[in-house]
Amino acid sequence: MIELTPWDLLIASVLIILLAITSLVLQLNIAKQLVIAAIRNVIQLLLVGYILKLIFASNNLFLLALISMIMLLVAGYEINARQKYPLKRWTGFKIGTSALFLSSFTMAFMSLVVIISPTPWYTPQYAIPLLGMLLGNTMNGISLGMDKLNQSVYQQRLIIEQRLMLGQDYHEVIKDIRAESVRTGMIPIINSMAIAGIVSLPGMMTGQILSGTPPVEAVKYQILIFFLISAGTGFGIMLAVWMISKRLFDDRQRLNLEILQIKS
């Protein structure tokens, strides 16, 4: 693998500076956010690089569990923060985090123990990147699915209440909205799989090829990752959507929008 020097990264940073200057000239109001994001990107990735170096060297299950929990909690927070109509009292955080844990951690554990089978199974070199990809993609899917569900229920509240008054079961009333919410959350990963190898080379596969991994071996790992992410995302969205939809109705099958935080 060809090693990059600080000078190489400095040259690449010039592109960000040029983009920021252009946005200032055109008054696009993105220069500040762009520069801050770039600085955060450098600091965060450098910190992660050194932390991972220590974890890889120690091969410690406790450290792996600690890092995994931090990743999970941050992802759960991001899910709730992205909602237009979030659930009150941290309910959205708890549901999103639970769905993430049950789906992503199950897929990661299964792949490490049954498929990849490193020795030991919790080898950080495999576990952390795998869990990170699963959490990141599943987080996006769950966030989209939850947001679609909450918005649709709020926007269609009058229709839902009318159907409930006509005696329809809440499962039947919300069935189409739940299905559409799951489809919305699955669109990004389905699109990524559909265009992989034709329109774009996936990030993991590109990274492995650049590091010297034979292309065919990189392809096999990428296919595995796609399948794991798809399954984890799908099951995670279903769990989150079903848990929320149950809370949107009370024991008497009345629409309960009080659990939503309606932002003015």
pLDDT digits (tens, 9 = 90+) for 168-180: 888 899 999 999 9
SS3 sequence, 60-96?
CHHHHHHHHHHHHHHHHHHHHHCCCCCECCCHHHHHH
Q: Is the pLDDT of residue 264 over 90?
A: no
Phi, psi of 26, rounded to the nearest 5 degrees? -85, 0
Cα gap 162→168, rounded to integer Å: 9
Q: Is the pLDDT of residue 24 over 70?
A: yes
**Tokens 């279903």 belong to residue:** 238
| Same-domain check for residues 211 and 138 | yes
| Same-domain check for residues 162 and 250 | yes
How far from 120 is each of 14, 66, 196, CA to CA, in Å? 43, 17, 31
Q: Is the pLDDT of residue 208 over 90?
A: no
Residue 209 banded pLDDT, cuts 50, 70, 90: confident
User: Which residues, in sequence order, are CB contacts of 234 under 8 Å at separation 6+?
Assistant: 141, 182, 186
Residue 264 included in any domain: no
Q: Point out the least confidently predicted range of 42-46, 80-84, 148-152, 182-186.
A: 80-84
The 10s digit of each residue's pLDDT in 143-169 is 999 999 999 999 999 999 999 999 888
| Same-domain check for residues 249 and 125 | yes
Residue 93 included in any domain: yes
Beta bridge partners of 87: 260
* pLDDT at 212 (0 to 100): 82
Mean pLDDT in residue range 240-260: 89
Count of helices and strands (H, E) across the chain: 10, 0
What is the number of structural domains in the chain? Answer: 2
| Same-domain check for residues 86 and 186 | yes
The 10s digit of each residue's pLDDT in 73-118 is 999 999 998 888 889 878 999 999 999 999 999 999 999 999 999 9
| Same-domain check for residues 144 and 240 | yes
* pLDDT at 1 (0 to 100): 67
Residue 150 included in any domain: yes
Final residue before a domain boundary, out of 58, 73, 88:
58
Task: Please name the amino acid found at residue 78.
Answer: E
* pLDDT at 55 (0 to 100): 87
| Same-domain check for residues 6 and 97 | no
| Same-domain check for residues 29 and 85 | no
Residue 255 included in any domain: yes
| Same-domain check for residues 77 and 147 | yes
| Same-domain check for residues 79 and 167 | yes
The 10s digit of each residue's pLDDT in 131-143 is 999 999 999 999 9
* pLDDT at 121 (0 to 100): 92
Range of the structural domain that residue 169 is part of: 61-259
Cα gap 195→243, rounded to integer Å: 32
